[in-house]
Structure 1
Amino acid sequence: MADHEPPPPDSPSGIVHGDRRGGVEHGAIHKPIHTSVQYGFERTEDLIGVFQGTRKGGFNYARQGAPTTAALEAKITGLEQGLGSICFASGMAALSAVFLTLLKAGDHLVSSRYVFGNTNSLFGTLGGLGVAIDKVDAASVDAVRAALRPETRMVFVETIANPGTQVPDLDAIGALCREHGLLYVVDNTITSAALFRPATVGAGLVVNSLTKTIAGHGAALGGAVTDTGLFDWRGYPNIADSYRGLDPRQWGLQQLRKKALRDMGGTLAPEQAHRIALGAETLSLRVAQTSASALALARFLESHAAVERVHYPMLESHPQHALALRHFKAGSWLLAFELRDSARMPAVLDGLQLAIKATGMGDNRTLVIPVAPTIYWEAGAAVRAEMGIADGLVRVSVGLEPADELIDDFAQALSRP
């Protein structure tokens, strides 16, 4: 009988069997949790090689990585079909790593106008450090093109915006970035590689908040940055001279690891990495169910008299429905809806019995939150208006409950006086 090739690392089977395929001590199925902070070497030259980045493999101090996080990084790299990944303590730590280690005063960033509230807050910090930012409607590549300047270094978008579910013109923006030699950074948190791979549209870096789609379960914080291998770092002016002696393909990852982990300390703990790695094993199953349930719930809400508008990319009424169909395998677990009477919002949400009133997303349980008075309250009315966040907007993170039970729950809550 002919030998069979192992499943590719980006496949569901490849993810499930990734640990043991890589070799695990004592025949264990899962990579163990390595809690050691220090790592010793038999030869001094190997210790030096790890510090200088010239030796593949090996660990020196756990702030810059450990075997457990390295195993997770290999899984993320396989999912995104990338060159390499670095894990961080949270999704915001991953985003901060990209912006703070690869941009400097005088640089210019073009971003989608519709970004996660904390990302928008981080942009305020970047502005205070001398990085200019233009936020545009990224559903139009022309808007991105019009914002470019000679000092533009990076273009940043999210695959599906939170909470308004806007979808950027992903492939056209990728072509524009290639034309101008710009670093294209795509936040793939909502979709994950189970629904979309940003490398297919030319992204140089992919960011994932591992807390959400990839980990699920709502039991661990984490983030990751993946280098797809598509960006030529040799033309990027902000790489430190000390890293330019390495393979140019590794320049970006090396600077991120050294500056963001070693210098800033945004390190993912091994215990969290282990939980995320376990959650990733069921990624494809969870995403398939939550996407199907979200679409069913979105269709129900769109037909309800108490609902003014529903935001979900796979609805025909969504402004970027065609873009979503072109790029995504499904619509993900994120949707939002606006009540006709925003004053009824507390009563409606209090009437829900399955869905939980809580912040956060990507849990196995359905979560709801009134957007304007909570996660976007600090942004102010002007920013909310610019981002199209109505006072009656409710964000829903759909979980693993059966779709018919979720619909029944929202139906009874909406029917209350």
Structure 2
Amino acid sequence: MSNNHFTTSILHSDRRLGTEDGAVHKPIHPSAQYAFNKAEDLVAVFQGRPGFSYARQGTPTTGALEAKITQMEEGVNSVVFATGMAALAAVFMTLLKQGDHIISSQYIFGNTNSLLGTLQNLGVEVTLVDATDLEQVKAARRPETRMVFVESLANPGTHVCDLQGIGDWCAAERLLYVLDNTLASPWLCTGKAVKAGLVVNSLSKHIGGHANALGGAVTDTGLFDWSTYPNISDVYRTGNPAGWGLTQIKKKGLRDMGATLSSDAAHRIAAGAETLALRMGKACDNALALARALSAHPRVARVIYPGLEQHPQHERAKQLFGGRYGALVAVELDDAVDLFAFLNRLKVLVLATHVGDNRSLVLPVAHTIYYEMGPQLRAQMGISDNQLRISVGIEDTNDLIQDFEQALAG
């Protein structure tokens, strides 16, 4: 995608939509309920007219954030949730039912993998495939397949699925294509550009950027024909079919399940989103510099980063992301390195989970986010006991490289 006007549209979004008293930010609306002067207006909102009635289904503050996310993803509408996992759960739990089948990339976030296990317990069949290979995705198709799900960048292995090929195939097959765009962010790639029907973003990560609020979003790109989707309830099959899918996700995910984003968190995320392009550009540049430096270090066994030419999907990432490669780097230290002693010597990088913060974060993968999977599954995914996940931030580049060098020299 072209990044022209990306930041400008975010910066001026609230003001152009209309704010109180000339404010440049939409204010925080803490009210739990919204009153009406006429009973007819109250009824109209309950029956589908845009508006606010009860904060569980949204507030003017969350509505302003939704407008920003929609602009970023070049979609038609968005719904925000309390967390990224809540957004994913809303998509899966409201659009799939017992007997349905979903094709998913096997290179997905550990918690998402756990959520797919919950779906299986509820009678939804799940097939995990190497989605870097389009033919494996095609081969998994069944008559009851309803959805294909992938991530734009895998966590922590940085695999880059065949996003465009999957999008073209899903469009031809009239399958719902759901893209988790969290790690690339809409600044590197939009779901619409690869023909996804729905795009999920964890707003807690790069979009919010400051590690001070949790949130998630689902964006409808307008590319999927919801009149062909069999799992839309009759009550939502009214009006323009273009809105059916997101209406069901919002009603079930917010009204019924209560996965509501607070106005306070929405305000923090919206303010953080204004600098996404600046932060993401710096983080990507830092990640590439760090990956190159570490790949030449004698005490590092392997560096996995799409910006390195030896990465199996380097050319694909270059084409998809316009010459930037994300801010996540996977590093495997030499077996002779004491992993925990090395980590304890770091002075700049923060020992913490989370990704997409302004600060660079590092954690040992096998001992933390993939611990519950066990050694056999970790081995299948290529995750060694000495592998690190680095979420690269916006610090001065040389400070990050020097921190690694001093810790490795210890």
Q: Normalising by structure 1, what TM-score?
A: 0.96
Q: Identity percentage over the alignment?
A: 58
- 1:9–1:305 CA distance, 2 compared to 1 (3 A): closer
Cα distance, 1:201 vs structure 2 = 1.1
Q: Is the 8 A contact 1:366 1:400 kept in 2?
A: yes
**Amino acid across the alignment from 1:60:** S
Question: Would you say how many aligned residue pairs link Structure 1 and Structure 2?
Answer: 407
Q: Is the 8 A contact 1:10 1:79 kept in 2?
A: no
Residue by residue over 1:262-312, the C-alpha shift from the partner in whole angstroms, topping out at 9 and shown as x without a partner, is 000000000000000000000000000000000000001111111111111
Q: Is the 8 A contact 1:9 1:18 kept in 2?
A: no
Write the mapping of 1:137-148 to structure 2, written as runs, cut at 5 A. Answer: 137-148=130-141
**Amino acid across the alignment from 1:297:** L
**Amino acid across the alignment from 2:342:** V
1:26 equivalenced with 2:21 (yes/no): yes
* Partner Cα separation in structure 2 for residue 331 and residue 47 of structure 1: 48
1:244 is matched with which residue?
237
2:282 is matched with which residue?
289
- 1:384–1:364 CA distance, 2 compared to 1 (3 A): same
Equivalent residue in structure 2 for 1:407, among 366, 380, 401: 401
2:305 is matched with which residue?
312
* Partner Cα separation in structure 2 for residue 415 and residue 120 of structure 1: 37
SS for the counterpart of 1:115 is: coil
2:386 is matched with which residue?
392
1:5 is matched with which residue?
none
Residue by residue over 1:233-274, the C-alpha shift from the partner in whole angstroms, topping out at 9 and shown as x without a partner, is 000000000000121000011101100000000000000000
Q: Is the 8 A contact 2:158 2:304 kept in 1?
A: yes
1:339 is matched with which residue?
333
1:80 is matched with which residue?
73
Cα distance, 1:387 vs structure 2 = 1.7
Q: Please, which runs of 5 or more residues in structure 2 have no aligned partner?
A: none
* Partner Cα separation in structure 2 for residue 88 and residue 34 of structure 1: 16
1:178 equivalenced with 2:182 (yes/no): no
* Partner Cα separation in structure 2 for residue 342 and residue 205 of structure 1: 45
1:199 is matched with which residue?
192
Q: Is the 8 A contact 2:179 2:191 kept in 1?
A: yes
SS for the counterpart of 1:335 is: strand
Write the mapping of 1:204-219 to structure 2, written as runs, cut at 5 A. Answer: 204-219=197-212
Range with bigger deviation, 315-324 or 342-351: 342-351
Q: Is the 8 A contact 1:10 1:81 kept in 2?
A: no
Equivalent residue in structure 2 for 1:365, among 359, 366, 375: 359
Q: Is the 8 A contact 1:297 1:406 kept in 2?
A: yes
2:9 is matched with which residue?
14
SS for the counterpart of 1:305 is: coil
Cα distance, 1:338 vs structure 2 = 0.4
2:293 is matched with which residue?
300
1:47 equivalenced with 2:42 (yes/no): yes
- 1:384–1:47 CA distance, 2 compared to 1 (3 A): same
Residue by residue over 1:79-126, the C-alpha shift from the partner in whole angstroms, topping out at 9 and shown as x without a partner, is 001010000000000000000000000000000000000001101100
RMSD over aligned Cα atoms: 1.2
1:164 is matched with which residue?
157
**Amino acid across the alignment from 1:317:** Q
Q: Is the 8 A contact 1:217 1:363 kept in 2?
A: yes
* Partner Cα separation in structure 2 for residue 415 and residue 317 of structure 1: 26
Q: Is the 8 A contact 2:197 2:221 kept in 1?
A: yes
* Partner Cα separation in structure 2 for residue 381 and residue 265 of structure 1: 36
Cα distance, 1:380 vs structure 2 = 1.5
* Partner Cα separation in structure 1 for residue 295 and residue 387 of structure 2: 14
